[in-house]
Amino acid sequence: MGNLVAIVGRPNVGKSTLFNRLTKTRQAIVNEEAGTTRDRQYGKSEWLGREFSVVDTGGWVVNSDDIFEEEIRKQVLMAVDEADVILFVVDVMNGVTDLDMQVASILRRAKKPILLIANKTDNNELQYNAPEFYSLGLGDPYCISAITGSGTGDMMDLIVSKFRKESDEILDEEVPRFAVVGRPNAGKSSIINAFIGEDRNIVTEIAGTTRDSIYTRYNKFGFDFYLVDTAGIRKKNKVNEDLEYYSVIRSIRSIENSDVCILMLDATRGIESQDLNIFSLIQRNAKGLVVVVNKWDLVQDKTVKVMKTFEDAIRNRFAPFVDFPIIFASALTKQRILKVLEEARNVYENRMTRIPTARLNEEMLPLIEAYPPPSTKGKYIKIKYITQLPNTQVPSFVYFANLPQYVKEPYRRFLENKMREKWNLTGTPINIYIRQK
């Protein structure tokens, strides 16, 4: 079960610097591709062999100046709701402010582990300012400097010690896990109810399960899978449900715990920035994708031309990853609901694709010979051999070359597109590595 750590606090206390320090080790490894930089507010971190996700709640707020305190209050409530551990960052240089007091008063009521992080302790003298933070009533302040990194190791030990014990889930590994994600009101609950055929939002109110993802085993019409359902779908929350960026934080868990994400778009609204944020979470976690344009019954003009325009718009916004199914459906009238499940199952199977080495080489090498990587500084790049890596989360291929460092992103994309033409990899991301032979 993935643990989620949220960073809260007023602006300018160094939340994003701390976020970068926690996640940067990973950020470099996660493909720094075009388009994945949008969500600098979400990343992965690892310490003592435990992997967890980090969210900087401040990053999502748009023009927070006007409704400043209100916004911060909502962020903090959100963090209290969704995260396993909360880092409350304060600034040693500034001491306690009114806003810090307000945040603290919400956190004191929370039943979650909270670490009070006194940031900007860049030298030892400043540690003497820390005791005033005891007035926040949240226990010991931990002095760190997010910029220099001092104190962050001990802080990480603390964070990891606060995680819940990994619960052993008794899930059948062979059965795919699908998550339905999307902005509020895109029709997530209605599509889940349409799948399951009864209003089970009432059915599984099992006490004590609210925090984790809940898996519903679904066995119907020849489909067998788990629906990953996080708390967000089941209980309409006290925090105003209409707050857009919460939908992103809410989706993190379901995305991380699934194999294939069914991303719901609202046909009457088009594509909005939050859709792109959720999409990039799916990408960052290398999950399969099926896009469902819901509420298609409400669209007056349903011609093929309109569909095509809509489809092109979606692929343009989600580029460079364009090879995924798009289904026009209606959860209300149940139109094409089974098609959604069929596509999700296909995408799951595509994620499991194994291509024999012999076939890879006989299909791709002639192509590479015909269109070799452009030569750099007068050096010719030769790709000699290709193989698929075993046991990876998504199909991953290694191309062995004499000068791997000269193979640039556009050529990699060319290879990927050719592979997608030859093999059915629709809906799944793939990795292409260029290595020294």
Render pLDDT for 333-382 as a digit per residue (tens, 0 to 9). Answer: 888 888 999 999 999 999 999 999 999 999 999 999 999 888 888 888 89
Give yes or no for residue 92 having a pLDDT over 80. Answer: yes
Lowest mean pLDDT among 19-23, 282-286, 361-365: 19-23
Q: What's the whole-number mean pLDDT along residues 24-35? A: 43
Residue the block writes with tokens 């191309």: 399
Q: How do strand 223-229 and strand 214-220 relate by DSSP bridges?
A: antiparallel
Q: What is the pLDDT of residue 244?
A: 61
Nearest to 160 by CA among 59, 108, 87, 251: 87
Chain mean pLDDT for the chain: 81
Lowest mean pLDDT among 7-16, 253-262, 345-354, 413-422: 7-16
Q: What is the pLDDT of residue 33?
A: 40
Tokens standing for residue 209: 């399960």
Q: Which residue has the higher pLDDT, 302 or 292?
A: 292
- In whole angstroms, what is the distance from residue 104 CA to residue 9 CA? 9
Tokens standing for residue 323: 């090879």
Give yes or no for residue 416 having a pLDDT over 90. Answer: yes
Q: What's the whole-number mean pLDDT along residues 327-333? A: 87
Most confident of the following: 121-135, 175-189, 341-355: 341-355
Tokens standing for residue 181: 């994600």
Give yes or no for residue 98 having a pLDDT over 50. Answer: yes
Report how far Cα 253 is from the mean position of its chain's Cα atoms.
8
Nearest to 133 by CA among 147, 143, 125, 123: 143
Whether the CB-CB separation of 415 and 381 falls below 8 Å is answered with no
Q: Using pLDDT thresholds of 50, 70 and 90, give the confidence band for residue 311.
A: very high
Q: What is the pLDDT of residue 291?
A: 95
Residue 54 phi, psi dihedral angles, 5° rounding: -125, 135
Q: Which DSSP state fits 373?
A: P
The dihedral region occupied by 14, where left means phi > 0, alpha psi between -120 and 50, and beta the remainder, is: left
H helix intervals, 121-178: 152-161
Give yes or no for residue 152 having a pLDDT over 90. Answer: no
Q: Which residue has the higher pLDDT, 189 or 366?
A: 366
Q: What is the pLDDT of residue 323?
A: 93
Whether the CB-CB separation of 70 and 78 falls below 8 Å is answered with no
Give yes or no for residue 201 having a pLDDT over 50. Answer: no
Neighbours of 171 (CB within 10 A): 12
* Contacts (Cβ under 8 Å, ≥6 apart) of 7: 15, 18, 19, 54, 55, 56, 57, 58, 87, 89
Give yes or no for residue 423 having a pLDDT over 90. Answer: yes
Q: What is the pLDDT of residue 67?
A: 54
Q: What is the pLDDT of residue 43?
A: 82
Nearest to 257 by CA among 226, 280, 234: 226
Q: Using pLDDT thresholds of 50, 70 and 90, give the confidence band for residue 205.
A: very low
Residue 85 phi, psi dihedral angles, 5° rounding: -135, 140
Lowest mean pLDDT among 189-203, 236-250, 379-393: 236-250
Give yes or no for residue 179 having a pLDDT over 50. Answer: yes
Q: Using pLDDT thresholds of 50, 70 and 90, give the confidence band for residue 111.
A: confident
Lowest mean pLDDT among 190-204, 229-243, 309-323: 229-243
- In whole angstroms, what is the distance from residue 212 CA to residue 110 CA? 17
Give yes or no for residue 209 having a pLDDT over 50. Answer: no
Residue 293 phi, psi dihedral angles, 5° rounding: -90, 105
Give yes or no for residue 32 having a pLDDT over 50. Answer: no
Q: Which residue has the higher pLDDT, 334 or 107?
A: 107
Q: Which residue has the higher pLDDT, 37 or 437?
A: 437
Q: What's the whole-number mean pLDDT along residues 190-214? A: 54
Amino acid found at 160: V
- In whole angstroms, what is the distance from residue 364 CA to residue 401 CA? 13
Render pLDDT for 289-298 as a digit per residue (tens, 0 to 9). Answer: 999 999 888 8
Q: What is the pLDDT of residue 37?
A: 36
Nearest-10 Cα torsion for 214, 220, 223, 227: -10
